Amino acid sequence: MALDWLTEWMASHKISLWGGADLRGFSTPLDKTGQGFSRAISWATPMVPAIMADIKNGPTQAYADEYARVNYQINGFSLALAAEIKDRGFRSKALAASERSDTLHIKGDFPHKTAATRAGLGWIGRHCQLITRPFGSWVRLGTVFTDMEMPCGPSMEKNFCGSCRRCVDACPGKALTGMAWYPGLPRESILDVRACDQWKKEHYFQYHRGHTCGICSAVCPFGLKVLKKSGGN
């Protein structure tokens, strides 16, 4: 089922990496009527490569600003897209770019990365981040749930990190297990989220109250390739 209007909408917002995700079988957030969603639209918004490459020793104010800027942009796009879908007669719900709705388990309403891998945008690296071919892991993700029929996937079924462990070795909080991702692997098998969270709050509290770090992503070879192609910008 072709959705020319959606393709045009994404192009008008300069979103180049996006796709539909089949989420049947997943527990999604509910709408006001108590219904979940069978699909989602997922996209990746790239960060400035030079800023990302500059945080290999820890986050900077420039990174904190970029993180906030991109999240703000994604949230604006999400709300606008959700409204557009509703205007076309379908149900929709925007997922916040970075929001902890479950502080006990340190997670949001739904993993953006699950929608992204189901949409085929990339795979999960050993740093528990989505890695894309065009932008590496130097991206933030947007997700809008819907019941609208659309082409989905194909879902990403493998990772392409090979034997690389740069992110694991670079993690100052020793929060990464080194496990290679595959679909269905629990987050806990890759990331000790409490160790990660504790390190950030103890060492980088000045940046978004310790919710950002980025060292593991900064050293990822797929991101460094992007930096080289961009000429360092």
The tokens describing 171, both together, are 């993690």
Confidence (pLDDT) at 223: 95
By residue range, what is the domain housing residue 190? 4-230
Cα maximum dimension of the chain = 50
The one-letter amino acid code at 227 reads L
How many folded domains does the chain comprise?
1
Locate tokens 């961009």: which residue?
A: 230
Locate tokens 């969270």: which residue?
A: 197
DSSP 12-42: HTT--EEEEEE-TTS-----TTS---SEEEE
Element (H, E) at 165: none
Provide the 8-state DSSP code for 223. Answer: H
Q: How far apart are CA 222 and CA 225, in angstroms?
A: 5
The tens-digit pLDDT sequence of the chain (233 residues) is 558 999 999 999 999 999 999 999 999 999 999 999 999 999 999 999 999 999 999 999 999 999 999 999 999 999 999 999 999 999 999 999 987 767 767 778 999 999 999 999 999 999 999 999 999 999 999 999 999 999 999 999 999 999 999 999 999 999 999 999 999 999 999 999 999 999 999 999 999 889 999 999 999 999 999 988 877 65
Partners of 102 in the beta sheet? 107
Q: How far apart are CA 220 and CA 233, in angstroms?
A: 17
